Structure formats: structure tokens, C-alpha cells
């Protein structure tokens, strides 16, 4: 390399000597990479996160005993079958219903269930205190049902002349049918009424397609039962997830575009202001292609450095946003990296090539002599 400047040396000097400008260009490229990374990471996680939120609506599939074999209820192992068929993420709870009479002589619906499963499934139930799992005779009293009971602590019920005493653990408030019922543990319910569970409510995470698939699996496993989606939940969830998805997509494109144009402005300005260097090189015999290559290389190095730093910053931003909003983290995704890289390289290339028309028109002699 005697006497001739190598490309590498020129590049290094250009970057080091114009530190302020290189830094501002690097900052711009980092911002664009960080924004792209953060938004793409959030976007990729969005569906799973939203579907998770929709779990608070409770069951979206209801399995009931077919009305043909009235009163027989579901097969004894139905809950196990349902849990296996619905998938690992699903929550299922079984319910059995009977009409008993309270100590005041009012007919009331008594429901047997597993309190633990019901609690996981029905996050919206407002309960004074959930009964202990060891308490075999605990009862939750719906707030309207409680008005028809003389003693809420020791609840006396009669079913087909069989009396039963339950400990009232507290009131249950839902604003729905549950308000008029009394809930008790399944084992005690079956022993008392000899009725089997007749309804299994299942919560399957996911959109309409997943619910449909789960229903098909359940139908195959339990041909004798009726398996139905809770239509408003399934439809509503898909619609809202789709709309939020579209909204985020719009936001991603909009922000990416903004940042891209700003970066373009910054980078191409820094190329343009070096007309003098360009003219000098041209006067010394550099070819147009050679010089463009030089600018391009410089922009690409900056773009690459921007991707490296921006990916870290963007992943951290996505993690923070998820943490604040959904209370679960979005982990960094390497799969967004090619997309981010491509975007940054595209911006850098455009920024280097954008001023080419202006530069080509330059007369080296005129420029060097003074504007």
C-alpha cells in the first residue's frame, strides 16, 4: 500500500475525523433499528398476549350432557377426557345442578363444582373468601340466594327429603345467574343428590380457529355429549384481536416510515456537505463508481453498527413495554433481526444514493476554486 490510501484507511479517517457527524448518523441508524426491533418484537408477541388477556372472560366452550339421556349427566371420566383433548393450556371446570329447598322453603339451584377450578376459570367472580379445599361441606352463596336463607353460616338445605347442612363461607357476586345459586364441593354434591356433573365449562386459549379445532377434538372424544362454543366470546375475541393487530400494523408502518425519512435526511445531508471531498477525489482521478462505493460502504458500516446497538435497545424497550402493560415480558426475538437489518441497509443505501444526481452534476474545477 505504498503511497496509496486503502479503502479501509479512508473509511476509518472519514468516520473518525468527522466524529460529530458520524455520531449523529450513527444515532439516527440506531434509533431506526431500535424502533423497528421494538415494534416488530411487540407485534410478533401481540396475539399471544391479547389472547391471554381474553382469558378473563372465562369459558368459551361448554360441554353438556345430551338432552336425550335426561338426568344421567356426563360420563364419570368426562373431565379427564376433556382436559386431555382440550390441550395443556386449557382450563376446565365441571358443574352439576340440582334444585333444593332452603330453610325458608324457597326452591334454589344448588351447584356442585371444584372451587379451585371454578376460581381459575371465572376470574370475575367476586367472593368474600374462597372456602378452604379441605372443607368438604363449604358453600358459596350467591348474593340473591343468600337473601332466602335464614342462617348464612350454617346453611340448611333439603333435596328429595334428604337434609344437608353446609358451612357458608361467604357470598358470591357476579351479576349473572350465579347470584341466585348456592355452590358446594362436587363430592358432597354427588353424595347428597346422586346427580353427576352435567356441564363442563372449558377455556381454550386462542382465536376462532383454535376454539374450532378444540371443539372438533372434544366432539370426537365425547360423541355422546353436546359441545358448543360460547358464540359471543369466540367471535368478539377474534374481532378485537384482529383490529388491535391491524392498528399496531398501521402504527409500525407509520413510525418506521417517519424514522426512515428522518434518517434519510440526516445521512444524505452528511453526504451532500462533502461535495468538496468528492470533487477533490474526482479531480485526482477517482471514478464515479469508486466514489459512490466509498460513500455506500461508509453508510453500510454505520447501518450495521446501528443494527447491533439498536437491536439491544429495541429489545429492552419491547421488554419494558410488555412488562408495564401486560405484566409479562416479551423476550428478545432473533427472528426480527433479518428484517431490521434489511430495513437499515435499505435506508443507508438510499441515503448514499439519493444525492448521486446532485454530485454527478458537479464540476470539480468550479467547486474547488470556490463556490
Among 125, 130, 159, 319, binds another protein (CB under 8 A): 125
Q: Are 223 and 253 in contact (CB under 8 A)?
A: no
Q: What distance separates the 2 farthest-apart alpha carbons in the chain?
A: 113
For 154-171, b/e burial (b = at least 16 CB within 10 A) is: ebebebeeeebebbbbbb
Q: Are 193 and 71 in contact (CB under 8 A)?
A: no
Please, which of residues 204-233 interact with another protein by CB under 8 A?
228-233
Least separation in angstroms between residue 319's CB and another protein is 12
Among 9, 53, 165, 335, binds another protein (CB under 8 A): 53
Please, which of residues 64-83 interact with another protein by CB under 8 A?
64
Interface with another protein, residue 109, by CB under 8 A: yes
C-beta closer to another protein: residue 164 or 241: 241
Taking contact as CB under 8 A, which single stretch among the options 80-88, 140-148, 188-196, 299-307 is the one that binds another protein?
140-148
Please, which of residues 327-356 interact with another protein by CB under 8 A?
none
CA distance 189 to 268: 77
Sign of the CA dihedral 95, 100, 103, 104? positive
Q: Are 31 and 259 in contact (CB under 8 A)?
A: yes
Please, which of residues 18-37 interact with another protein by CB under 8 A?
20-21, 24-25, 27-28, 31-32, 34-35
Q: Are 113 and 122 in contact (CB under 8 A)?
A: no
C-beta closer to another protein: residue 14 or 32: 32
Taking contact as CB under 8 A, which single stretch among the options 71-79, 130-138, 177-185, 298-306 is the one that binds another protein?
177-185
Place of cell 326452591: 107
Q: Are 322 and 329 in contact (CB under 8 A)?
A: yes
Spell out where the chain has E strands.
Answer: 61-65, 91-102, 107-113, 126-127, 138-142, 154-159, 162-173, 181-185, 199-203, 225-229
Q: What mask of x and - would describe binding to another protein in positions 288 to 327, judged by CB under 8 A?
A: -----------------------------x---x--xxx-
Residue 167 — φ and ψ, nearest 5°? -90, 120
Among 132, 265, 339, 365, binds another protein (CB under 8 A): 265
Among 145, 303, 307, 351, binds another protein (CB under 8 A): 145
Taking contact as CB under 8 A, which single stretch among the options 81-89, 268-276, 279-287, 330-338 is the one that binds another protein?
268-276
Interface with another protein, residue 13, by CB under 8 A: no
Interface with another protein, residue 128, by CB under 8 A: no
Amino acid at each position: 500500500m505504498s503511497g496509496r490510501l486503502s479503502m479501509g484507511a479512508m473509511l476509518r479517517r472519514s468516520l473518525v475525523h468527522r466524529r460529530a457527524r458520524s455520531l449523529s448518523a450513527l444515532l439516527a441508524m440506531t434509533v431506526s433499528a431500535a424502533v423497528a426491533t421494538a415494534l416488530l418484537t411487540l407485534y410478533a408477541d401481540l396475539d399471544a398476549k391479547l389472547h391471554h388477556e381474553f382469558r378473563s372472560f372465562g369459558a368459551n366452550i361448554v360441554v353438556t350432557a345430551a338432552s336425550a339421556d335426561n338426568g344421567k349427566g356426563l360420563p364419570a371420566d368426562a373431565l379427564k377426557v376433556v382436559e386431555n383433548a382440550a390441550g395443556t393450556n386449557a382450563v376446565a371446570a365441571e358443574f352439576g345442578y340440582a334444585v333444593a329447598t332452603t330453610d325458608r322453603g324457597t326452591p334454589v339451584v344448588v351447584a356442585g363444582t371444584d372451587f379451585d377450578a371454578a376460581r381459575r376459570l371465572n376470574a370475575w367472580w367476586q367472593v368474600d373468601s374462597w372456602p378452604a379445599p379441605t372443607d368438604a361441606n363449604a358453600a358459596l352463596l350467591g348474593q340473591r340466594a343468600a337473601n332466602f336463607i335464614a342462617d348464612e353460616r350454617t346453611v340448611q338445605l333439603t333435596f328429595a327429603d334428604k337434609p344437608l347442612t353446609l358451612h357458608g363461607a361467604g357470598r358470591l357476586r357476579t351479576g349473572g345467574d350465579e347470584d341466585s345459586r348456592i355452590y358446594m364441593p362436587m363430592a358432597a354434591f354427588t353424595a347428597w343428590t346422586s346427580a353427576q356433573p352435567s356441564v363442563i365449562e372449558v377455556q381454550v386459549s386462542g382465536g376462532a380457529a383454535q376454539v374450532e379445532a378444540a371443539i372438533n377434538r372434544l366432539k370426537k372424544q365425547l360423541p355422546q355429549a353436546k359441545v358448543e362454543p360460547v358464540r359471543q366470546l369466540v367471535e368478539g375475541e377474534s374481532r378485537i384481536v384482529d383490529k388491535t393487530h391491524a392498528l399496531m400494523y398501521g402504527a409500525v408502518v407509520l413510525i418506521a416510515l417517519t424514522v426512515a425519512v428522518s434518517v434519510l435526511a440526516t445521512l444524505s445531508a452528511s453526504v451532500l456537505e462533502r461535495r468538496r471531498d468528492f470533487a477533490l477525489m474526482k479531480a485526482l482521478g477517482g471514478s464515479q463508481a469508486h466514489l459512490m462505493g466509498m460513500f455506500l460502504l461508509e453508510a453500510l458500516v454505520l447501518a450495521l453498527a446501528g443494527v447491533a446497538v439498536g437491536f439491544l435497545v429495541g429489545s429492552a424497550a419491547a421488554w419494558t413495554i410488555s412488562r408495564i402493560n401486560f405484566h409479562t415480558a416479551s423476550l428478545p426475538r432473533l427472528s426480527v433481526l433479518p428484517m431490521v437489518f434489511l430495513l437499515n441497509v435499505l435506508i443507508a443505501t438510499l441515503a448514499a444514493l439519493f444525492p448521486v444526481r446532485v454530485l454527478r452534476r458537479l464540476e470539480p474545477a468550479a467547486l474547488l476554486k470556490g463556490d
